[in-house]
Structures are given as structure tokens and as C-alpha cells.
Amino acid sequence: MKLPFVLAKRFVAGETFDESIPKAKYLNQKNLALTLDLLGENVTDKKTADETVDAYIELLHGIHKHGLVSSISIKLTMMGLDIDTQYCKENLFKLLDVAQEHNQFVNIDMEGSDYTQITIDIFKEAFAKYGQSVGTVIQAMLHRTKDDIEELAKLGANIRLVKGAYKEPDHVALQNMSDIREAFKDYAKVLLEHTECPRFGTHDDELVNWLREYTAAKNISKDQFEYQMLYGLREETMVDLTKLGYKTRVYVPFGTDWFPYFTRRLMERKENIWFVLSTMVKK
Ligand SMILES: Cc1cc2nc3c(=O)[nH]c(=O)nc-3n(C[C@H](O)[C@H](O)[C@H](O)COP(=O)(O)OP(=O)(O)OC[C@H]3O[C@@H](n4cnc5c(N)ncnc54)[C@H](O)[C@@H]3O)c2cc1C
């Protein structure tokens, strides 16, 4: 049974790119940059993976055509990672070629821990070829991040640091929120010291405020890092941060395959469940 889109619309801009354009323009008018994300994951056949790559290429053209201030975010499992690594890499490079023509940035999102190593490996190959036009994500909760962050920071890679959205077992990831926050801070320091413009994806006031205080104390200017938040969450905070002179970017997902993304948002915060229930009541 397909659930009605009205449930997801708090967190998802539309079921198509065209439907999402007014929301994207509205956020751009508030001086918020975007990263558009076509929803979907774990594609198991080449036909769907090929169609996804085409849809992403259309998206890159569409961003250019509509003059949006937006990069894109992709998931490797949408580009065929579960089918064949080489095929997935070719798809990614095809997309990166088009992105380069438009001078656009492509972020490779991080998925569950079964994919961490292969995602980093593919990212490193892409980085060697495309440099700063491609970036990836590191999850503070993973134990392995201590080593990954050192390696990627030394490379000068373009990294988005997040807590991590996937449920992971004890031996793979920290489980306690205060430990995850402390790890986030430690890794943020490494990125701020060694990389050009690290990106921090969090809605957590403790981390948002800590970043402000830490960077001010270290004389790191407000345009040397970026705050990133998800569509539908904390828009006012993002506008306030922008007015204070910080770089900001909203992650704007769209597409019909919104259910897994939507579920992760519900699991993260009980308040998000209330948003959805109130949407249903209003409907
Ligand atoms: C731009 C972006 C990209 C991401 N990309 C990835 C990715 O590629 N891979 C991945 O695994 N994960 C990704 N994530 C998700 C991330 O890993 C976390 O699961 C998610 O951001 C929740 O953690 P949090 O730090 O935002 O706050 P939470 O841990 O959800 O909340 C902590 C505290 O923050 C405050 N807070 C949180 N939300 C709100 C709110 N809406 N209003 C008011 N206060 C609030 C509350 O005090 C709350 O107790 C991304 C997140 C962002 C923002």
C-alpha cells in the first residue's frame, strides 16, 4: 500500500523536481543555499539505476535552468552500488562530468555502516579526479570515524559531519547522545583545522552554539564553515544564522520514494511524529 504524500510533506519538498521548485526558490529568497536530493536507496536493477542517473542529470540541468543556488546530494546505493561497484562508479563519474560542466557540487551521502568503507573508497577515487567538486559525509557516532576523519582531513576532503541516522550495534557505533556530541565536537575540530570549508549537519542547539563559540575563540571566520539542516526543520534558526553572517544550506529531499527517509526522521525525534499527526488532523 502506498502511503499518501501529505504525511511526508513536512520533510519532503515534493514528489517531483517541478513540484519542489517553489519551495526551493522560497528558501533561496531567504538567502539559504540548498542541496537537492532525489530520494531513494538500495536500487537492485540496472534499469532503475540508469533512470536514477538520468534523473540526477536532469536535476543538474534543472538547477541551472531555474537559477537555483543549490548543489546535489546522492546515495551510491541509488546508483547501483548493490549491483556492481564498477558500474556504480561509472554512474557516479558520469554524473560528476555533468556537474563539472555546470560548476556544481555533488555530495555523496553516507548510508548504513555496511557501506562506509566502499563509500569512502569510491569518494577517494572521485576526489582524485574531481577535487573539491565532490564531497562526502562522516558519521560522528561510528567508532571507525576516529581514523577516517584523520585520513580524509589530511587529504583536504570536503566533508559534511553528522551524528549518523542509521541504527547501528554497540560494537560499530556510540549509543549515548552525550558521547556522540563529544565525538562530533572532536571531529569538528579536526575538520576546521585541516579542511577548507567543512559542513556541519545538525539541528542540535548544543552543537550549533558550540560551533559558534569554538570558531569565534579560534578566530575562524563565519564563511570558513557551513551549517546544514534538513528541509522542514528549524528554518528560523537557519535564517537567523544567515543573518549573523554564517554560511547555511538546507538539505531538500524530493521524490516518490520518500518512505525510508521519512521513517528515519520520525525515529529521530518524538516531536517529528507530532508534526505528522498534526498534518493529518489539519488535512
Ligand atoms: C544536512 C544534513 C545532512 C545529513 N546527511 C546524512 C547522511 O548523509 N548520513 C547520515 O547517516 N545522516 C545524515 N544526516 C542525519 C544526521 O545523521 C542525524 O541523524 C540528524 O541530523 C539528527 O541529529 P541532530 O544532530 O540534528 O539532532 P538530534 O540528535 O535529532 O537532536 C538533538 C537535540 O537537538 C535539538 N533539536 C533537534 N531537532 C530539533 C528541532 N527540529 N527543533 C528544535 N530543536 C531540535 C533538541 O534539543 C534535540 O534534543 C544529515 C543531517 C543533516 C542536517
pLDDT of residue 267: 82
Cell numbers given for 215: 570558531
Instruction: State which ligand 1 atom lies nearest to the alpha carbon of 137.
Output: 8
Share of the chain above pLDDT 90, in %: 86
pTM (two decimals): 0.94
pLDDT above 80 for 1: no
Domain boundaries, the chain: 5-167+189-275
Q: What is the pLDDT of residues 211-230, one digit of tens each?
A: 999 999 999 999 999 999 99
Rounded mean pLDDT of 21-29?
98
The reply to whether ligand 1 has any atom less than 6 angstroms from the CB of 64 is no
> By the 8 A CB rule, do 92 and 104 touch?
no
Cα-to-centroid distance, 203 and ligand 1 (Å): 5
Burial string for 211-228 (b: 16+ CB within 10 Å, else e) reads beeebeeeeeeeeebbbb
Q: How confident is the model at residue 275 (pLDDT cuts 50, 70, 90)?
A: low
Has 181 been annotated as catalytic?
no
pLDDT above 60 for 283: no
pLDDT above 60 for 153: yes
Q: How confident is the model at residue 271 (pLDDT cuts 50, 70, 90)?
A: confident
- What is the spatial distance between Cα 65 and Cα 115, in angstroms, rounded to a whole number? 34
Cα-to-centroid distance, 202 and ligand 1 (Å): 4
The reply to whether ligand 1 has any atom less than 6 angstroms from the CB of 162 is yes
pLDDT of residue 252: 97
Residue 157 sits at the vertex; the CA angle it makes with 164 and 209, to the nearest 5 degrees, is: 50
- Looking at the domain 5-167+189-275, which fold is it? TIM Barrel (3.20.20)
Helices 85-101 and 116-130 meet at what angle, rounded to 10? 40
The reply to whether ligand 1 has any atom less than 6 angstroms from the CB of 180 is no
Distances (CA, A) of 215 to 34, 192, 246: 23, 8, 11
Has 212 been annotated as catalytic?
no
The reply to whether ligand 1 has any atom less than 6 angstroms from the CB of 77 is no
The one-character DSSP state at 2 is P
